[in-house]
Amino acid sequence: MPKTSCMLCPMPLSRRRFIKGTLAGGALLPLVSITPGCGNQVVAPPVVDALVGTDGKVQIPLAQYPALVPVGGAVTLRFNLPADTVYHVARSGILLVHRAAAEDPPAFVATQSACPHAGCPLGYNPTSTLIECPCHSSRFRSVVPDDGLGCTGEVIHAPANQDLVVFRVDYDPNTQVVVVNLNRTLPCGGGTPFPAVTNGTVVLPFTDFSELQTPGGSSVGQPDGWPDTLIVIRVNATTVRALSAVCTHLNCNVAYDIGKARIACPCHGSIFTVDAGQVVNGPAKDPLRVYTATINSDDVTVTLA
């Protein structure tokens, strides 16, 4: 489906107040006249408090969250997490949607709650079965299409230019408890999956990550069992760096700019240093989290502490 864009359009005041409390360092959108056909006919779902367990999982009993019971129901999960948390995406909230058809068993999807375009709170449209932004018309898949040519969280309508972060969700019909696993995201195609965390480390063998054998090479991925997505960069023959790949502005995944030897965010242009993840250019204000990484003869080892 071709990606198109739309003019800036307004939001109801209640949603503006919601955004004011959730935008990461952003400003409120200006009040403008309504443009017919602009935006999506969805609203941000109710915001509810939830807790992240020590295992990185969020337990959601449907009996305590009635908005999720009907098909098409949705909530934004809000967590009381410190600023330096490794649960970067969850700090801004998680959108949890009951997406199954009425005749099907319950099925749920969990994604970041803020649109990667401008941080507006996302909602779910049960008619289109899409996750949509009410501000600027961005739309994302909530299900994998029948032809398999796409994935959950995939952006299919601009102005957003990056897919949503999607978390693994399990549902027990006997207990009617939804479990969101913040330590396991579901990547949208491409790339070699990062291995699982073992004894606080993740090992990237050159046989699977050959790009890390060459200075300037880099790889992005989330280790199974760790809530943060990493960017690992081979700086030179003896040095490798590992940082969080989650931009501290609006949670887009950053990339390595080999030509300028810097880390850049493709969504809004934030620039970070490779050595320490410090902000060189905004709109991001906070640095990227830095991890210890070492080169061995056959692999790169990242310590997740």
User: Concatenated DSSP letters for 178-201?
Assistant: EEEEEEEE---S-SPPPPBPBTTE
Residue 6 lies in a domain: no
Q: What is the mean pLDDT of residues 75-82?
A: 95
102 shares a domain with 21: yes
Reported in sequence order, the residue ranges of 173-295 that DSSP labels E, i.e. its strands, are 177-185, 201-205, 218-221, 230-234, 240-244, 255-257, 262-264, 271-272, 279-281, 290-295
Query: Is residue 80 scored above 60 in pLDDT?
Result: yes
Say if 193 falls within a structural domain.
Answer: no
Total domains present in the chain: 2
Rounded mean pLDDT, 110-119: 95
- Determine the length of the chain: 305
Shared-domain flag, residues 25 and 163: yes
Kindly state the percentage of the chain with pLDDT values over 90. 71
Tell me, yes or no, whether 7 lies in a domain. no
Range 107-118 average pLDDT: 95
- Of 154, 185, 216, the domain-final residue: 185
Residues contacting 126, CB < 8 A, separation 6+: 71, 72, 99
Using one digit for the tens of pLDDT, what is the confidence trace for 179-226?
Answer: 999 998 887 765 678 999 999 999 999 999 999 999 999 999 989 889
Boundary residue ending a domain (156, 185, 214): 185
- Say if CB 282 and CB 247 are below 8 A apart: no
Domain of 41 in residue numbering reads as 13-185
Q: What is the CATH number of the domain that holds 126?
A: 2.102.10.10
25 and 159 fall within a common domain: yes
